[in-house]
Amino acid sequence: MATEYLDLDDALDAYAEAVEVSLDQAKEALLNLGQLESALARPQNAAAYENADVARQAASLFWGVAANHAFRDGNKRTAAVLLRSFLNLNGYDISRGEHAARDPSSLALLRLASLVLEAMRLREAA
């Protein structure tokens, strides 16, 4: 099965979900289209140039969205929604909703997100 990738519409939908706003408000919150497109391209680049598996591609997507600050707010929340969407799109069932806190796959997602954020903090501190 070929890896599927997210696009700009997916990112705007993710922002709207993460920040709980309309799609029109999500479009207004986008400050830097280039930064968002760069973040969305990271998984494909990781696959092409690093032979990255889906988990590594997902982490690169999460990092890119969280670090690039393409939206005026909610970048880390949007990154988490996109991470879940990317993994779901590629066959990894990542739950959301009231049962997500007890679901092992959702806990793994949260753990991955926390590891990436910790790496970002360490990088910024250096």
Q: Which of the 8 DSSP states describes residue 90? A: T
Beta bridge partners of 71: 30
SS3 71: strand
pLDDT of residue 99: 46
Angle between helices 54-68 and 33-50 (to 10 degrees): 160
Rounded Cα–Cα distance for residues 104 and 14 (Å) = 22
Give me the residue spans of the domains in the chain. Answer: 8-125
Please give the chain's pLDDT, 126 residues, in tens.
Answer: 799 999 999 999 999 999 999 999 999 999 999 999 999 999 999 999 999 888 889 989 999 999 999 999 999 999 989 998 998 899 887 765 544 444 555 556 666 666 666 666 676 677
Query: Which helix or strand (DSSP H or E) is residue 125 part of?
Result: helix 104-125
CATH no. of 8-125: 1.20.120.1870
